[in-house]
């Protein structure tokens, strides 16, 4: 699907954008890959990793998802969009709520409108486990964004543009991840852990990109795709990164959960299970009907939570994943 196609990645200078760009050029022959982001220095740094003499089909486009006019220009001739732009640091969002809302909600609506107006074929939005039963502003804005992308399939009507969402957990080694924090603290011999009971879903950047691209190929429009992932306990991660280091328990931070959820129990009636993922169907009956028979219904009240997830990673498995980052 991506051969001879133009793919645009919003927030393309982030961790996901780097890996996605690398894999698009490695496994496909795209006509063009457009990196859309608002930080010119990050674009300059990324251009050093993807020089035009080796990657003649890459383009860097400065702009902000808050700016509809700029999106209109950027989306000209684009076939597929991966919407990765977001303000995602929980504390920053709590202290700057209007900025978070402008990027994560207004920006999402702008992407939806401009993609439909420009006739983009498919748009895949990246979500987060924090959007399921959110307790912080970041999660609430991403839940709202998810709803906007799912609902967009109804209002575009006969337009060819289709919208779906991928929701996954913590990305190993991404910006803001606890991994680089533990690696820095390892030098001091002491780590800080908020709560020893804490669990998280865990995915590598490569796995995340593979899942997004595969879901884009298979999407009908309106699905929220959730990969089946292993969970890890924060104390096991600490031992994997810094064995023998002392651990200081600092207490859970505002807006933080002990365990994360990717499929809430309230969505179980609309959730289908597949071999390696779940798909939460839209409320719209016409759209949902197209997906029936493609998976099996999960039990009523089913909840996909990191604490009760039977697939757990131990220290050695985590250490292996870290070594292969």
pLDDT tens sequence across 122-150: 999 999 999 999 999 999 999 999 999 99
pLDDT at 256: 85
Residue with tokens 């071999």: 275
Question: Is residue 287 scored above 70 in pLDDT?
Answer: no
- Residue tagged active-site, from 130, 228, 257, 296: 130
Higher pLDDT residue, 274 or 293? Answer: 274
Which position has the token pair 């697939």?
311
Tens digit of each residue's pLDDT (9 = 90 or more) over 197-207: 999 999 889 99
pLDDT tens readout for residues 23-50: 999 999 999 999 999 999 999 999 999 9
CA distances 26 to 2, 79, 126, 206, Å, are: 12, 19, 21, 12
In this prediction, residue 22 carries a pLDDT of 96
| Mean pLDDT of the residues in the chain | 92
| pLDDT score for 63 | 96
**CA atoms within 13 Å, Cβ hemisphere of 129:** 25
pLDDT at 318 > cutoff 90: no
Please name the residues in contact with 79: beta carbons below 8 A apart, sequence gap of 6 or more: 5, 6, 7, 120, 121, 122
Residue 130 annotated to the active site? yes
Res. 319: pLDDT tops 90 = no
C-alpha span between 180 and 186 (Å, rounded): 10
Please give the average per-residue pLDDT across 5-23, as a whole number. Answer: 96
Q: What is the mean pLDDT of residues 260-268?
A: 94
Cβ contact 283:151 at 8 Å? no
- CA 248 to chain centroid: 30
Q: How many CB atoms lie within 10 A of CB 202?
A: 23
Token couple for 248? 């200081």
- Cα–Cα dist 21/46, whole Å: 10
Identify the three-state secondary structure at position 225: strand
Q: Is it the case that residue 285 has pLDDT exceeding 80? A: no
> Which residues, 6+ apart, have CB-to-CB distance to 53 below 8 Å?
none
- Tracing tokens 């757990």 back to the chain, one arrives at 312
Residue 6 burial class via C-beta count within 10 angstroms: exposed 0-12, middle 13-18, buried 19 and up: buried
What are the chain's domains? 6-169+202-229+261-305 (3.40.50.720)
């Amino acid at each position: 699907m991506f051969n001879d196609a133009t793919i645009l990645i919003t927030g393309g200078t982030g961790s996901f954008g780097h890996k996605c760009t690398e894999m698009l050029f490695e496994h496909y022959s795209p006509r063009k890959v457009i990196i859309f982001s608002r930080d010119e220095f990050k674009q300059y740094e990324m251009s050093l990793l993807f020089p035009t003499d080796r990657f003649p089909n890459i383009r860097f486009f400065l702009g902000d998802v808050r700016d509809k006019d700029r999106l209109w220009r950027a989306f000209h001739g684009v076939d597929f969009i991966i919407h990765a732009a977001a303000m995602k640091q929980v504390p920053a969002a709590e202290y700057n709520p209007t900025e978070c809302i402008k990027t994560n909600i207004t920006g999402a609506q702008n992407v939806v409108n401009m993609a439909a107006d420009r006739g983009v074929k498919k748009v895949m939005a990246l979500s987060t486990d924090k959007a399921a039963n959110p307790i912080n502003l970041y999660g609430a804005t991403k839940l709202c964004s998810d709803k906007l992308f799912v609902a967009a399939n109804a209002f575009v009507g006969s337009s060819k543009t289709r919208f779906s969402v991928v929701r996954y957990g913590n990305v190993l080694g991404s910006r803001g991840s606890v991994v680089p924090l533990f690696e820095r603290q390892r030098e001091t011999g002491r780590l800080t852990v908020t709560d020893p009971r804490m669990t998280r879903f865990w995915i590598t950047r490569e796995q995340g990109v593979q899942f997004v691209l595969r879901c884009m190929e298979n999407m009908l429009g309106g699905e929220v795709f959730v990969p089946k992932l292993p969970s890890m306990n924060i104390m096991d991660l600490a031992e994997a990164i810094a064995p023998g280091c002392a651990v200081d328990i600092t207490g859970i931070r505002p807006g933080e959960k002990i365990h994360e959820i990717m499929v809430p129990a309230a969505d179980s009636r609309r959730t289908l299970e597949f071999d390696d993922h779940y798909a939460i169907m839209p409320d719209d009956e016409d759209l949902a009907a197209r997906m029936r028979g493609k998976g099996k219904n999960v039990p009523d009240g089913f909840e996909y939570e990191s604490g009760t997830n039977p697939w757990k990673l131990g220290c050695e498995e985590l250490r292996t994943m870290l070594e292969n980052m």
